[in-house]
Amino acid sequence: MSDDGDLWIAQLRKGMLELCMLALLAHEERYGYQIAQGLTESGALAVSEGTIYPLLSRLQREGLVEARWRESPAGPPRKYYHLTPAGRQAFKSQASTWENITRAVDAILEEARNGRSAG
Amino acid sequence: MADLPDDSETRLEIDRLQAEYLGRLRAVLRRAPPEIRGDALSEVQSHIEDEWRALGGGLSALRTVLQRLGPPEEYGRDLALQLILLHGGRRRLAARLALAVVFWASTSLIGGVVVAGATLIFAFALGMLATAIARALGVPMMLVDATNYQVFSYHGQGLHFPPEAWSPAVIALVGLLPAVIIYTGLYRFLRLWIRSRLAQRGLAFATTGRSPVAPPGWERRALLAILTFASLGLGGCLLFSILSELVPIGYPGTVRLPDDFFRTPITALAFVSGLVFLVSPVLGLLWAATRTTSKAMLKSKTIHHE
């Protein structure tokens, strides 16, 4: 793929990253490594795992997530993140926007595919 | 780390690798408040240990973990900035901005040069303004040395117009906070605005961390342009200031405003150069943005032709 194509994919993934993070925290609190794992498995995290920490700090600064340290039965103490009410609201709003966008893009792509096969 | 392999050499190597990685991260985070820095380091350390265990332990597992985390320098600077802003959450916006600009200035050479210089220019301007206000309020002054522009009040209080070389440093103490706030605000606004304009023109942007990052080489070009404008502006300001000191004033006697403020075209040039230095980030970013945009548009036109 060309450099421009790589940049486009990176940009797209970056756009999704915050939404994916909020989604991962929507139903349960998680710590950094769990979040990184969830993002890597879904393919949303194209950059290094360390980059989640500035993003988590920003979400914390913006009042969308809160964090607390908890002892772990196995392993080191972990810092768990959970959504605040404002974070839940932001998640709902972003998820709704995302669904609208994907619907619109799907429709256009479908039309393009049909047009190509008809031609 | 717990559950280390038996091999003592491997154990030592694992400890060394982890300590080296955390040491590098600590160095990048050094400007963040100590209590928050410790918290961030503990979090990354716990990430390393969790993932290391999940991968079965051992030296190669640790190398994989550190590779996946990425170089500390890659995300540490963004993290430090976020931590500073987070820590200053309860402070006033001005104080938070000041903290951010001090961080920016202290973690890059160009930041240090430009912010320090901008502060001096602001301080110089403040000094001029203070002198002007004093005169406007009726403080009587007389130009007693036309060659060196020594201005004295009738009460015997010595003033130099423009302020002597050492005086901006003193005035800088007064002007520091407004200077850094204005400067940072301008820089951040323009940086984001230009990125947004570039994005509107259809340029692809890679992203890491919070902010979109311009195409490869754009940041370097912008920094070089900023440094060039800053050097030219500062150099010009100093040169023309010195030259203007050498030019005798046209009408010795009581100083009047605004006639004496830009008393010679050379002084005006000194002010213009100072302004160039002051807005060097703006000029540099605009220059780099224009260049990037032109190249992208040229490329686009070439493709269309083909």
The span from the CA of B118 to the CA of B57, in Å, is 52
Q: Which pLDDT score is estimated for B15?
A: 87
DSSP conformational letter for B90: G
What is the C-alpha radius of gyration for chain B, rounded to an integer number of angstroms? 27
Confidence (pLDDT) at B153: 47
Among the listed ranges A41-45, B23-27, B90-94, B129-133, which one has the minimum average pLDDT value?
B90-94
CA-nearest of A36, A44, A47 to A81 is A36
Chain A residues inside the 8 Å CB shell of B49? 75-76
Encoding tokens for residue A1? 């793929």
Please give the full DSSP string across B188-240, using - where no structure is assigned.
HHHHHHHHHHHHHTT---EE-SSSEEPSTTHHHHHHHHHHHHHHHHHHHHHHH
Cα–Cα dist A83/A91, whole Å: 9
pTM above 0.90, yes or no: no
Q: Within 10 Å of residue A1's Cβ, how many Cβ atoms?
A: 8
Show the DSSP H helices in chain B as ranges.
8-28, 34-54, 59-69, 72-87, 93-107, 109-136, 167-200, 218-246, 265-278, 280-305
A10 shares contact with chain B (CB less than 8 Å): yes
Question: Residue B297's pLDDT is what?
Answer: 41
What distance in Å separates residue B225's CA from the closest CA in chain A? 24
B95 pLDDT tier (thresholds 50, 70, 90)? low
Q: How far apart are CA B285 and CA B292, in angstroms?
A: 10
Q: Is the pLDDT of residue B203 over 50?
A: no
A4-61: pLDDT as tens digits? 566 677 677 777 888 999 999 999 999 999 999 888 887 766 678 898 998 898 888 8
For an interface test with B, give the residue of A2, A6, A7 to mutate (most B CBs within 10 A).
A7
The residue ranking higher by pLDDT, B153 or A25, is A25
Highest mean pLDDT (candidates B61-65, B173-177, B229-233) = B61-65
A13-25: pLDDT as tens digits:
777 888 999 999 9
Higher pLDDT, B31 or B297: B31
**Statement: residue B168 has pLDDT above 70:** no
The residue-averaged pLDDT of A64-75 equals: 86
Q: Which chain B residues contact residue A33 at CB under 8 A? A: 46-47, 50-51, 54
Render pLDDT for B127-151 as a digit per residue (tens, 0 to 9): 665 565 555 555 655 555 555 555 5
| Of the partner residues A4, A10, A61, the one whose CB lies closest to the CB of residue B207 | A10
> Do the Cβ atoms of A82 and A65 come closer than 8 Å?
yes
Closest CA to B241 of B270, B216, B217: B270
- Distance from C-alpha of B16 to C-alpha of B106, rounded to nearest angstrom: 29
pLDDT, greater one: B281 or B156 = B281
Share of chain B above pLDDT 90, in %: 7
Give Cα A101 distance to the centre of its chain: 16
Highest mean pLDDT among A22-26, B57-61, B74-78, B182-186: A22-26
- How large a percentage of chain A has pLDDT more than 90? 39
Share of chain B above pLDDT 70, in %: 36
Inter-chain residue contact A79 with B42, CB threshold 8 Å: yes
Q: Which residues of B touch A (CB under 8 A)?
A: 39-40, 42-47, 49-51, 53-54, 68-72, 74-76, 78-79, 81-83, 85-86, 89, 204-210, 212, 215-216
Whether A57 has its CB under 8 Å from any CB of chain B: the answer is yes
| Residues near B173 by beta carbon (within 8 Å), at least 6 away in sequence | none
Give buried/exposed letters for B272-286 (b at 16+ CB in 10 A, else e): ebbebbbbbbbbbbb
Give the integer Cα–Cα distance in Å for B12 and B109.
36
- Contact call for B207 and A78, based on CB within 8 A: no
How far A64 CA lies from chain B's nearest CA (Å)? 13
